[in-house]
Amino acid sequence: MRTLDEDGAVDPWRRRAWRPRRQMPLWQELPLLLIVAFCLAVLIRTFLFQAFFIPSGSMEDTLLIGDRVLVNKVVYDVRDPQRGEVVVFRGTDRWVAQQAQEPEPGIAGRFARTIGDLVGLSRPGEKDFIKRVIGLPGDRVKCCDAQGRVTVNDIPLDEPYVIRNSPLDLPPNPSECRSRRFAEVVVPPGQIFVMGDHRLVSQDARCQGPVPIDNVVGRAFVVVWPSSRWASLSVPDTFAGVTSPVTAAGDPPAPARPSGSGGVLLLLPVSASVSVLARSGRSGWSRRRRLHP
């Protein structure tokens, strides 16, 4: 039905409003979709998730060399790390890189590395590490009890994920983490005590010191590649029995206040996704109108 103005003529504004939108040619739409997909990948990599390549055997047999894990980067914006979680973090100056320095790539190699880093598919940096959280701020961590186990706040840990442990008869060496035994460490405020699952080769907090929580990139929660090794990285039951440390006054230390930036970071890529979906929905609606006038 046509819309008439007061003089009986067709209203041109109404005619333009009901005019179907012209479909964008494929050669124009495809590059646009690729750019949007790339931008979404960068946003997700920056704020939500990132894939990390495992370059060393310090977490065997939980993680093998060449595995790729997916890391949740927003979870620690709303809470602190927990005992037993596998985390990726930036090592301090005391931490020695566990991978050999690669030769400088050419122009094409640098470009590919840049693109891979943007979407989270590149190798980790020299100071990126992945370990398991053993102690939280205020915890007393040491090894060993009468059965050769690590204790946290005097609670022994039964660690089924430790397949290759360090020998008990090897004397402690502050410059090397091969010994199983180490003196009691009280984890400083705002830091965590981390260890690798392959205790014989892992260079970790036993000799390189605790790690600031601010250096934690995120929690590794699933092995995504190779497909034959797909598995979730859950918290072992042994940590459920560990009690909170007690201060000199007899009260447990106050929990750290969670940061409020997580919600803002989460909204950025979600808003972008909603915008793309809405645009796609409008485009599909206009096509349906042309097909079914």
**Residues 265-283: b if buried by 16+ CB within 10 A, e if exposed:** beeebeebeeeeeeeeeee
Tell me if residue 179 is catalytic. no
State both tokens at 11: 């209203």
Say how far apart CA 45 and CA 71 lie, in whole Å: 9
Cβ distance 60 to 164 under 8 Å?
yes
Tell me if residue 58 is catalytic. yes
State both tokens at 227: 């497909």
Q: Give the number of residues written for the chain.
A: 293
From the list 58, 166, 179, 202, the catalytic residue is: 58
CA distances from 111 to 16, 52, 107, 122 (A): 47, 19, 6, 12
From the list 131, 166, 179, 202, the catalytic residue is: 131
How many helices (H) does the chain have, and how many strands (E)?
Answer: 5, 12
Which residues carry out catalysis?
58, 131
